Structure 1
Amino acid sequence: MFGTSERAGKGGSADKRPASTAVRDETAAHLRSPHAGASSSCKTCSLRPVCAVNPDELACSQQMEDLVLGYRQVKKGEALFRVGDPFTNLYAIRTGSFKKVTLLADGREQVTGFHVSGESLGTDGIAAAQYASDAIALEDSSVCVMPFDLLEWLSREVDAVRHHVFRMLSAQLVRESNSMMLLTMTADERVAAFLLDLSRRWQARSYSPSAFALRMTREETGSFLGLKLETVSRTLSRFQKQGLVQVRGKDVRILDFAGLIEVAHHPSSS
């Protein structure tokens, strides 16, 4: 599928690898190398247990250092990629967070997902060879860059990489399925489930599950949940009056997990 070049391995035998120079040139133009190399920073990264590319699982691969070439900085409000851009890379969020956005027929933006550190971006570009959404940074962020031709080659050569790619794609399908399920819920259920999901994701990254910042605006939250901005604001205010959460601007503290879980599954009429 891709062109290959040969490079002698440690034993002197030829090692066929993708020779996508255009991908490498495009990638190199945006990368920063904080340490001796990507693999060095991967080994010391605190996100290893939840990262889209976990070096603990890929340690058997001699070519692991080729999978993550470096990282790219993305300023708040900037696009990592836009819908229709040629698909070249997958990305693992190193720091910060992103929203995924598609444009509706009437010109309105529809937020289709939020992604935090350790999660992957770009899998929606695999099928059509172009990205199917915009990925916009919600704050100053950085991502590890994984050229897809290298990932595809490694997945053929190394079982651990192939299995990890399957898990990464499966996780994306689960997130999309959960997002679709939100649309069958009431407003209270949606907001409660949204807060609990963020709590779970932050806890998995060794952050506080009860106190965190909502980097997205209320309008963006409403777009994702299929609710009006006013409905999101009213629901959060009601949760606060009920003693479920404390909200101060973008900062949220969950005060009653059991109560919030109850709302997510059995909303009270309002």
Structure 2
Amino acid sequence: MPETRPLQLQHLKAACSSCSVLELCLPIGLTGPEVQRLDTLIVQRLKVKKGATLYRAGDPLRSLYAVRIGSFKTSVLSVDGREQVTGFQIPGEILGLDAISTDLHACNAFALEDSEVCPVHFAHLEKLAQELPSLQHNLNKILSREIVRDHDMLLMLGNMNSDERLGAFLLNLSQRLYIRGYSPNDFVLKMRREEIGSYLGLRLETICRGIAHLRDRGLVAIAGRNVNIQDMEGLKQLVAGCHRPL
């Protein structure tokens, strides 16, 4: 069972129509009455403390989880017990899609900070999606986005050097935060450098060297977990391979 703590009784009902990430989540494009029907599937919001588990690999699929506040990481364990980070999720993104094919979660989901999710019972969601073509369309788009994300990850691991991988990670996070109304140039990393390295397929010392390289090029300054992108266009050119030696 998830290590979560429900909100107080007076806050148990979570209305999608009043959510701050409405335009990034399942209800996008739905009419008012359709959003109200989706509301009925969200019985309560769940608070997840920093470091707590939302679900573990092997748990049965019960719900999809829309991140409302905070952030998460997903990971799998190798045969020898090492953690491999598979993704980082922020408000407006959906957790639990990994379980749709087998009805069992394939990864673990941990809160990177005190967070809050809206659980949507999957069987009820499927039934409602059959009645609302716009909701089914949104589900298809979310699943397609996951496929594209996987392709982007394979491209990054196969074709980018370590500095480019780090730059691509920071640029991706910057763009996702900007869509949510935050500064694209100044933000705080919620994950540890070891977790970034695991996600990018890089050792911790390589991540540290990459941070120094980006600083020396005047592209990004990172102090602790505080990130300042100083040259956005230069960072984009780096990720595109424009700074590689001929």
So what's the TM-score if we normalise by structure 1? Answer: 0.84
Residue identity in the other structure for 2:244: S
Tell me, in whole angstroms, the C-alpha distance in 2 between the residues paired with 1:58 and 1:123.
24
Query: Offset at 1:189?
Result: 1.1
Residue identity in the other structure for 2:137: H
Is 2:199 aligned against 1:230? no
5 Å-filtered alignment, 1:59-98, equals 59-61=32-34, 63-98=37-72
Residue identity in the other structure for 2:191: M
Q: 2:189 aligns with which of 202, 209, 214?
A: 214
Deviations 1:113-172 (A, max 9, x none): 111111000001011111000001111111001000110110111111111111111122
Is 2:226 aligned against 1:262? no
Q: 1:108 aligns with which of 82, 87, 97?
A: 82
Is 2:141 aligned against 1:170? no
User: Residues 123 and 174 from structure 1, CA distance in 2 versus in 1: closer, same or farther, beyond 3 angstroms?
Assistant: same
SS at match of 2:45: strand
Residue identity in the other structure for 1:268: R
Residue identity in the other structure for 2:240: H
Tell me, in whole angstroms, the C-alpha distance in 2 between the residues paired with 1:34 and 1:47.
21
SS at match of 1:77: coil
Query: Offset at 1:58?
Result: 4.8
Please name the residue that 2:178 is paired with.
203
Q: 1:132 aligns with which of 97, 100, 106?
A: 106
Are the aligned partners of 2:28 and 2:138 in contact in 1 as well (CA < 8 Å)? no
Query: Offset at 1:34?
Result: 5.8
Are the aligned partners of 2:174 and 2:185 in contact in 1 as well (CA < 8 Å)? yes
Are the aligned partners of 1:58 and 1:64 in contact in 2 as well (CA < 8 Å)? no
Task: Single out whichever of 145-154 and 56-65 deviates more from structure 2.
Answer: 56-65
Please name the residue that 1:150 is paired with.
124
Structure 2: unaligned runs, 5 residues or longer:
none
Please name the residue that 1:37 is paired with.
13
User: Residues 257 and 31 from structure 1, CA distance in 2 versus in 1: closer, same or farther, beyond 3 angstroms?
Assistant: same
Identity of aligned residues (%): 42
Tell me, in whole angstroms, the C-alpha distance in 1 between the residues paired with 2:204 and 2:5.
36
SS at match of 2:135: helix
Deviations 1:190-236 (A, max 9, x none): 01111100000000000000011111111100000000000011111
Residue identity in the other structure for 1:150: H
Please name the residue that 1:57 is paired with.
30
Tell me, in whole angstroms, the C-alpha distance in 1 between the residues paired with 2:118 and 2:150.
22
Are the aligned partners of 2:76 and 2:107 in contact in 1 as well (CA < 8 Å)? yes
Query: Offset at 1:101?
Result: 0.5
In the comparison of the two structures, how many residue pairs are matched?
240
Structure 1: unaligned runs, 5 residues or longer:
1-25
Tell me, in whole angstroms, the C-alpha distance in 2 between the residues paired with 1:100 and 1:158.
30
Are the aligned partners of 1:48 and 1:56 in contact in 2 as well (CA < 8 Å)? no
Please name the residue that 1:13 is paired with.
none
Are the aligned partners of 1:100 and 1:133 in contact in 2 as well (CA < 8 Å)? yes
Are the aligned partners of 1:75 and 1:139 in contact in 2 as well (CA < 8 Å)? yes
